Structure 1
Amino acid sequence: MEVEMNGPDLRERVRRVISETLLVPVAQLADETLIKEDLGADSMQAIALLISLDEEFDVEFQVENLPPAGLTVGLLCQYVSDAIQTGR
């Protein structure tokens, strides 16, 4: 699937997946929104989110490459973009 790597389409798709997985409104998801701290995602929800992103973008995330705290919507967008570009 062809995706514009840093474009608004990618960001909107990531936000939609976050919204659907964590049951929060898309309007609440700014780049600086913290996944655990602001949205209240627990560890299981964070894993479910990564699985959903894996499926949506056909990439495989390496959990150890993500920060243990301070994970934001913007960082997830960048991580997805990087994973697509490198073919992970």
Structure 2
Amino acid sequence: MVFERVKQMILSELKVEESKINLEARLQEDLGADSLDAVELIMNIEDEFDISISDEAAQEIKTVGHLVSYIEQAKK
């Protein structure tokens, strides 16, 4: 499941409590990702899922749910 893989990557990258990670969690406000964290997370997700995320699309991704949806669409 995409969400579980993304959740593990967020846990590893951002070192947040697992209970804070849900589809509604905002990457910056709720999970504390700064711009460098976000770039590293996007790069790791691109590698993990073998997809490409444009800079414009990355800037639009605000929540874990947005990220999961983007990955699911990109994998089709």
Tell whether the structures are fold-level matches, with TM greater than 0.5.
yes
Q: Deviations over 1:45-71 (max 9, x none)?
A: 000000110111111111202317xx0
TM-score, structure 2 as length reference: 0.89
Question: Are 1:31 and 2:23 matched, yes or no?
Answer: yes
Instruction: Give 1:2-81 correspondences, 5 Å limit.
Output: 9-66=1-58, 67=60, 71-81=62-72
8 Å Cα contact 1:22/1:41 also seen in 2: yes
Aligned alpha-carbon RMSD (Å):
1.3
Larger-Rg structure? 1
- Kindly tell me the number of residue pairs found equivalent between the two proteins: 75
User: Which secondary structure does the structure 1 equivalent of 2:75 belong to?
Assistant: helix
Question: Are 1:82 and 2:73 matched, yes or no?
Answer: yes
Q: How far does residue 17 in structure 1 lie from its aligned partner after superposition?
A: 1.0
Q: How far does residue 26 in structure 1 lie from its aligned partner after superposition?
A: 2.7
Q: Which runs of 5+ in 1 are unaligned?
A: 1-8
Q: Which runs of 5+ in 2 are unaligned?
A: none
4+ runs deviating over 4 angstroms: none
8 Å Cα contact 2:26/2:64 also seen in 1: yes
8 Å Cα contact 1:21/1:52 also seen in 2: no
Q: How far does residue 24 in structure 1 lie from its aligned partner after superposition?
A: 1.5
TM-score, structure 1 as length reference: 0.78
